[in-house]
Amino acid sequence: MNLDIRDLQMHYIKERALDGLSMKVSGLRSIAVIGPSGGGKSTLLRVVAGLEVPTSGYVAVNGRPIDYEEKALREYRKRIGVVFQAYNLFPHWTALQNITVPLAKVYGMERDEAVEKAMALLKKFNLEQHAGKLPVQLSGGQQQRISIARAMAREPEILLLDEPTSALDPQLTKEVLDMVLALKEEGTNIMMATHEMAFAKRASDHVFFIDEGKVAKEGSSLTFFDSMDRDRLAEFLSHVFD
């Protein structure tokens, strides 16, 4: 994954969600974005996903700058997989339909091909027994894994995960982590925003700490959490690990 972000600004009426944020990634498989609530994590992911148009700045994914004109954005979004913390599964569709209907309606795939692809993904992640269930019949971890499978059905250039384990208990968090680790091992490019430090450490190659709309610190996930000093990161991590 190659990511080049320069002086990214996102201003709302009463706040600056992103305030001159810059980051550059080259040849990494997975990156994690951590930081306090309101620091800009989710806004950054939405800009990279093409779901928010920044006030100003430059964003390039794998060498191609994002064109924030609406027609270009519609095409760009087809290259990106996005999973939100609220799962966003359609409640009246089964797990299988949540994967197959977008493939057919948005990407023009034949129904039989869409079903075959969806079932292969469900089987791969030990979810095939839930294919006919509605979201309400699934646990939070199962719903999140179905959401990730749906995003992966597009074979995205990059998978964006926004707080993928939010509100999940430790066992369900492990289910999602195992799935993300498997995708990473297979070569999926992943960018995630998370408040789970253990998750960030295990599932990413590089970590960015974002605070007040800027990158305050970054480093390899192997050493990032062991190099605390007396700064904003140390304060944040001390609360997380208390």
Q: DSSP state, 186?
A: T
CA proximity to 68, closest of 81, 51, 80, 83? 51
Main-chain phi, psi angles of 200, to 5 degrees? -60, -40
Rounded to whole angstroms, the Cα distance separating 47 from 23 reads 13
Distance, CA of 8 to CA of 152 (rounded, Å): 27
**Two structure tokens written together for 99:** 């994967």
pLDDT by residue, tens only, the chain of 242 residues = 999 999 999 999 888 999 999 999 999 999 999 998 888 999 999 999 999 999 999 999 999 999 999 999 999 998 999 998 777 899 999 999 999 999 998 888 999 999 999 999 999 989 999 999 999 999 988 999 999 999 999 899 999 999 888 878 888 888 888 899 999 999 999 999 998 888 888 899 999 999 999 999 999 998 888 766 656 666 766 655 44
Sort strands 64-65 and 16-26 into parallel, antiparallel or unpaired.
unpaired
The domain limits of the chain are 28-51+69-240
Q: Which CATH superfamily is domain 28-51+69-240 in?
A: P-loop containing nucleotide triphosphate hydrolases (3.40.50.300)
Integer Cα distance of 144 and 86 in angstroms: 8
pLDDT of residue 242: 45
**Other CB atoms within 10 Å distance of the CB of residue 235:** 13
pTM for the model: 0.89
Using a 10 angstrom Cβ sphere, with 0-12 exposed, 13-18 middle and 19 or more buried, the burial of residue 180 is buried
